[in-house]
Structure 1
């Protein structure tokens, strides 16, 4: 008989369930992620694994929007529809926040690859995708790292 982490017996009947859960978790991290805004006028796909943790930034913009970001390289992003894609930039104008101009959903940001101390090498960029929009994914259940954007930039 197999035993679990807590050394409690695991019945053979539950082994398949455990295998399914582990398989689902691995597959959900590896699959291509498609997403769209509420009105479906703007959509994109991300090709790559989900990060171990999502990121919540405390800057004035992100905290008001309620983002939970998943970071990717720019080559992992494919915009599949951009009928109502709009961009908002503020302050340094280095971050391009893409949102739907029709329904207002925040989609992703094309941003410098800032380090946790706020520094940037001046060239490397990344995509900060709004993980709350990913199809068949509950971002609120994923581990989150908090970045002190309120005091960094």
Structure 2
């Protein structure tokens, strides 16, 4: 996970208020075949949220542009338990994809000492998102 993910010291608890509900934005998304569907509640508009553009091998190969959200902000409508997971490198992060259509949907840590309680959603899996208007932070994951 990139430097945009919260540090373990900064991770809010589920009952920590994040922001005024009037500024929240909810997005729907899922895989190409719609076997996996989710909603994500962001503390602010997607166009004003910093996303990652990482050059590590998995982000490049899968076209990941991650948005980091606490687990409480992501609700799976269907397919969460049907997703296949893939591990590489240090085996601390599970990358989830649809077994039917292959869409890379999200990643999350399996190490309770490493970003516990957070999901990294692939913004490319959101419905009707204009990628050209989003803000990205370059992350050098290839060197780590």
Taking structure 1 as the reference length, the TM-score comes to 0.68
Are residue 137 (structure 1) and residue 135 (structure 2) matched?
Answer: no
- C-alpha RMSD over aligned residues: 2.4
Moved over 4 A (4+): none
Are residue 64 (structure 1) and residue 64 (structure 2) matched?
Answer: no
Indicate if the aligned counterparts of 1:84 and 1:102 stay in contact, CA closer than 8 A: no
Q: Secondary structure at the match of 1:75?
A: helix
Alignment partner, residue 113 of structure 2: 122
Indicate if the aligned counterparts of 1:111 and 1:128 stay in contact, CA closer than 8 A: no
Alignment partner, residue 105 of structure 1: 103
Are residue 38 (structure 1) and residue 32 (structure 2) matched?
Answer: yes
Are residue 149 (structure 1) and residue 141 (structure 2) matched?
Answer: yes
Aligned length: 118
Taking structure 2 as the reference length, the TM-score comes to 0.72
Q: Secondary structure at the match of 2:106?
A: strand
Q: Which has the higher contact order (CA 8 A, sep 6+)?
A: 2
Structure 2 CA distance for aligned equivalents of residues 143 and 124 of structure 1: 22
List per-residue Cα deviations over 1:33-70 (Å, max 9, x = no partner). Answer: 11011101111111223362110111111111111111
45-54 or 59-68, larger mean C-alpha shift? 45-54
Residue segments in structure 1 that go unaligned for 5+ positions in a row: 1-28, 113-120
Are residue 47 (structure 1) and residue 41 (structure 2) matched?
Answer: yes
Instruction: Flag the structure with larger Rg.
Output: 1
Structure 2 CA distance for aligned equivalents of residues 73 and 46 of structure 1: 10
128-137 or 93-102, larger mean C-alpha shift? 128-137
